[in-house]
Structure 1
C-alpha cells in the first residue's frame, strides 16, 4: 500500500476533540506523577538505547512531545544541553515544573501546548532540535503530526507506542457499550504501524525494538468511572457513562477497581539528515 492509504487509515483513528484529551490527562496527572520514578529500569534502558546511537551529548537539544510530568525530560537533563517539554495537560506541566525545581534542574523548559494544533513557526522550532522525542503519547496520531516531528528535527526522531495492549476491564466495557460483534478501531495501538509505513514510503527506514511490559492498575471507584468514561467519550454513545458505572460497581472491591495490563511496546528511531 502507498502512503496515501496509510494516511487515510490513520486519519480515521485520529481523536478530533482535544478538549477530551486535556480532561483525560489532567485527571490522570497526579497518578502519573506518583509513578514517575517507579520505572527507573525502563528509563535507564531508553537512555542507554539513545546513548548507544551517539545521540545524547552536551550539545544535544531535545523536544519532548507529550512530556507528562517529566518522566524522560528529567532523565535527559543529566546528559544533554537543553530540553523543551510540551504537554496538552496543564496539570502534567505543573507537576513537571515542580519536579524540575525539586531536583534543582535548570536546563529544561516546560510549556502547555497541544502538538496537533501547534505551529512550529510560532516558536521558531523549524529544524531546531537534535532529537524530537515522543514516547507513548497520543499526540502523534496522524501523518501531519508525524511530519511535524520531522520538520522540527535536524537529526533524529524517536517515537514509541503500543503494538498490542490487553486491558481486561476496557475490553469488557467495549463489548458492553458497542456490542460483541462491533469492530472497534483501537486508536493508539496502530500509531507505530501507520508511522513506520508512511516513513518507509518516504524512503526513511526506521529502526525498531520491541519490549514486553505489564503493570497493575488500581483506582478509587469514582475516579475509575471518570477515566473510562473519558476513554469512550469520543464514541458519543448514549448512556455510556451509566453502563460504565454499573459494570465498575459490579467488579469493585471495597471501593477499588483493579486491573492487570499486558502489552508490547515498540521503540522507533529514525534519522532525517542522511
Structure 2
C-alpha cells in the first residue's frame, strides 16, 4: 500500500506570499553573509527545500543549486515558480534524505526549518559540502491556537535537532558560528482553513482528537469567521 506523503497535502497551502522571502528570511541571509557566507558562483544543495523559496532566491546568485525534498507536491510548486522566473541553473530530486545518494561534493549544503535530516544523519549532511548552513527550531514553535491543544493531548517535548547538531559539532571539534533568532507573526485563517491546518499538524505529530472535539475547540477561538494564530518561532542558525 502506498502511504500518502503529508507534505504533499501541505504544499497546497504554502506560498501565501507568492514565494517571496519574508523580512525574517532576508535578515537571516544578511546575517550569514556577514559571517562570510558567499553564494556567488557556488554549487549548492538545499536539503528539505520544500517549494523552493530559498532555492530560487539563491539561484539568482549561485552557479547551480539542487533542491532535494521527499514531497512531489512541494517540488511541483518549485518547478512552476522556476519556469516563471526563467531560471536554468536549478535542478530537483524527489527523495527522502535517508535514501538520497550522491558522489558530488558541493560548495555549500543548506537546510532551513526542515525535519529532513535526522540526528543519525548529521555526518551525511556534513559530508555533502565544505561549508554548511543550518537553520532549525531550537525549541518547539509556539502557536496560540495549537500549543494549548497539543499540551492537553499530551504531546511530549523533545530535545531539538538544532541543539543536538550543535552538540555533535562540539564533539567532532568542528568550529561553528551560531545565533538564536526569533520570529513573531500572526496568521489569520478562515475557519475551514484553520481546521485543515490543525488536522495536518495533529497528524504529523501523531496526536488524536475527534472531529467534533476539534471543531468545538476552534469555534471557541473564532471571531467574525476568522481564527488568529499568534506564532513564535525560536530558531538556531549554525554555519560551519
TM tier relative to shorter chain: 0.7 to 0.9
The total of aligned residue pairs comes to 236
Give the conservation status (yes or no) of the 8 Å contact 1:229–1:240. no
Aligned residue for 1:149?
125
Aligned residue for 1:5?
none
Aligned residue for 1:210?
180
Give the conservation status (yes or no) of the 8 Å contact 2:47–2:67. yes
Aligned residue for 2:229?
259
Distance in 2, Cα, partners of 1:160 & 1:202:
19
User: Given the alignment, which residue of 131, 136, 145 partners 1:161?
Assistant: 136
Root mean square deviation, CA, Å? 2.4
Aligned residue for 1:131?
108
Aligned residue for 2:47?
65
- Look up the SS of the partner of 1:222 in the other structure: helix
Q: Report the structure, 1 or 2, having the larger helix content.
A: 1
- Look up the SS of the partner of 2:131 in the other structure: strand
Per-residue displacement from partner, 1:123-155 (whole Å, max 9, x unpaired)? xx23521111010101123222x22211222x1
Aligned residue for 1:119?
100
Q: What does residue range 176-215 of structure 1 map to in structure 2 within 5 Å?
A: 176-178=152-154, 184-186=156-158, 190-215=160-185
Give the conservation status (yes or no) of the 8 Å contact 1:150–1:157. yes
Aligned residue for 1:224?
194
User: Given the alignment, which residue of 207, 213, 218 partners 1:243?
Assistant: 213
Distance in 2, Cα, partners of 1:157 & 1:246:
45
Distance in 1, Cα, partners of 2:166 & 2:51:
27
- Look up the SS of the partner of 2:157 in the other structure: coil
Distance in 2, Cα, partners of 1:242 & 1:161:
34
Compute the displacement of 1:47 (Å): 3.3
Aligned residue for 1:88?
70
- Look up the SS of the partner of 1:223 in the other structure: helix
Compute the displacement of 1:236 (Å): 4.9
Compute the displacement of 1:264 (Å): 2.1
Structure 1 pair 220/141, CA: closer, same or farther in 2 (3 Å)?
Answer: farther
Aligned residue for 2:38?
55
Aligned residue for 1:45?
27
Q: Which runs of 5+ in 1 are unaligned?
A: 1-18
Q: Which runs of 5+ in 2 are unaligned?
A: none
Compute the displacement of 1:51 (Å): 3.6
Compute the displacement of 1:237 (Å): 5.0
Distance in 2, Cα, partners of 1:51 & 1:172:
37
Distance in 2, Cα, partners of 1:237 & 1:93:
27
Runs of 4+ residues deviating >6 angstroms: none
Compute the displacement of 1:234 (Å): 5.6
